[in-house]
Every structure is written in C-alpha cells, then in structure tokens.
Amino acid sequence: MCNQLVDEIVLVDVNEAAAVSEMMDLKDFSTALGIHVAIRVGDYSDCADARFLIMTAGRHRKPGESRRDMLEGTFDILSKIVGPIKESGFDGTLISVSNPADIVAEYLYRSLDLPRSRNFGTGTALDTIRLQRVVGTLVGMERSQVQAIVMGEHGDSSFVPESHVSLGGIPLDEYLRLRPEHADKLEFKAIGKTVHESGASIIQGKGATEFGIGATVAMIVSSILHNEKRVIPLSAHLRGEYNERFVSVGVPCLVGQNGIEQVYELELTDEESELFHKSCEIIRGGFETIVKKV
C-alpha cells in the first residue's frame, strides 16, 4: 500500500470483525498519506482474479516459542484454506509467509496446482535483511554494501555461506586482509545466532513481527511487477538443485516478471554443503510429521 504497488488489497480472515477493523485502520493510514489504493474485506472468491495471494494465515508465535512450535496449529488452519483457494480458480502468484515457513511453502506447493515460479515462501529473505543490518552495524558500513545471504531453513538450522560474503564488493578474505581489526567482529556463527534470535526478540517485546516481513513481501512483489531481476533467497521447491528434492528451502533465486525465474545453485564448501543438507533434513522431517495429520 505505502509503495502503491497494487490497485486493490482484499483482506480475507476467518475473524471478519478483525479484517474490517484492519481495513478501516489502513484506510485512515492511506488517507493521511494521500495514497490511492482500494482496500476492502472479501472472501475466497476474490482470489479468482488476484495477481498475488499473500498467505499469512496460521497460529501466532508466542514468546519463548520456536517457529516449529507453531506447526500443528498452523496446519490445522491451512488444511481448511487450500480447498477454497483451489475452488476459487486462483492462478496468480502465491507468496507464503506463515511459519514454519519452509514446511508451509512445501505443503502449499504440493497442495495447489501452481508452478514453482509462482508458488514459494519468503524463506530466508528476511533473515538476509537482518544479516545485512547486523554486519553493516558491526563494521560501520552502509547495509546495502553488505553482499551476503542466509540459506537453509527459516529457523535455527539456517547458515551464512561465508564463501559468498563480500563487503563493498570486496571478497571477505581480502576485506579482512585490508581491515584485520574487523576479524573478531565478523564471526559468522555468532552473527548467525544473532540473526536467528532477532524474530524471537521482537516477539518477546511486542508480540509479533510485522514491518520487516511486510517490507520483505513488498520487495518481492515489486521485483515481479517491475521485472527487477533481484536475487532474493526464497523458500523454493527443489528439483535436484544442491542434490536435494521434495523440499522447499531458502536458496538464492532470480526474481523477475515470471516470479522465480531461476534457482541459483551456488558452489558451497564441504562444510556449507553439510549444513545445507542438515537443514533440508530438518525441514523434511517436520513436513513428514505434519503431513500425516492433514
């Protein structure tokens, strides 16, 4: 809405009163800012001609919980939603945000007749934004100058492939040769832990994350609408990339007017490959646990 990327936003929620209140609040917001985007409350029939479906349905994450703790509650909700979405004839791009993100993305990929290019999760896109913020702060550099991504699960088993980190276009090893005083600051296992804990810290303080993930979704939508060809780590269903199949996991994707136009298969070190496969196994195990119940 703030970026005026779309003409109309339709809110669909089992709690219609909450959706109406959200609509009214957003209308006040848009009026104050002079934004002209139509906002209304609707139902699943509105999916029929929607360009994007942003899936945020699921159980809220409570303070002290991991994303995995939301598994059963979220899938109890999702199992009631996929039917109406299919029946609506939706044929746009589905971007899933609900946690646990990768398991949800895989479930929606298998449940809906949409191609991988138009059915994926936000994956480690937000983790990557948090990583760039943390590293930029540590070394006193503009965050956009930090070229680094998070891969794997949107959760505790994600990792930073250090072999593909550069700062200001300078590969990490060379950067540390030029700025050796930053070596202690750029300890990526510790940085990864900080990234892992960011969401939980926000939830502990205010009960939910909203602005970071909202801006992340808007970035993905913008890349598709404007054919920006951004590389964004998304939870995409793998078909042999990285020697993995039948799992959705955070990997760098080229995003343009057709959605995911290519999954980039990075050359990882042996240690990074091991971390990636372990993360895939964790996601796969969670999916197999829940799919028996839905």
For 260-269, how does the pLDDT look when each residue is reduced to its tens digit (9 = 90+)? 999 999 999 9
Over pLDDT 90: what percentage of the chain?
Answer: 86
pLDDT at res. 67: 58
Q: Is 154 among the residues known to form the active site? A: yes
Over pLDDT 70: what percentage of the chain?
Answer: 95
Q: How far is CA 169 from CA 62, 123, 135, in A?
A: 39, 25, 14
Q: Residue 39 in contact with residue 30, Cβ under 8 Å? A: yes
Which residues does 62 contact at the CB level (< 8 Å), separation at least 6? 69, 203
Phi, psi of 164 (to 5 degrees): -120, 25
Answer yes or no: is pLDDT of 270 > 70.
yes
Mean pLDDT of the region 223-239: 98
Mean pLDDT of the region 173-201: 94
Q: What is the pTM of this model?
A: 0.93
Active-site pick, 36, 154, 182, 237: 154
Mean pLDDT of the region 144-156: 96
pLDDT at res. 292: 60
pLDDT at res. 66: 62
pLDDT at res. 64: 65
Weakest mean pLDDT among 165-169, 203-207, 211-215, 216-220: 203-207
Mean pLDDT of the region 230-259: 98
Answer yes or no: is pLDDT of 40 > 90.
yes
Which residues does 282 contact at the CB level (< 8 Å), separation at least 6? 153, 155, 157
Using DSSP's 3-state secondary structure scheme, residue 65 falls into coil
pLDDT mean across residues, the chain: 94
Question: What confidence tier does 290 reach under pLDDT thresholds 50, 70, 90?
Answer: confident
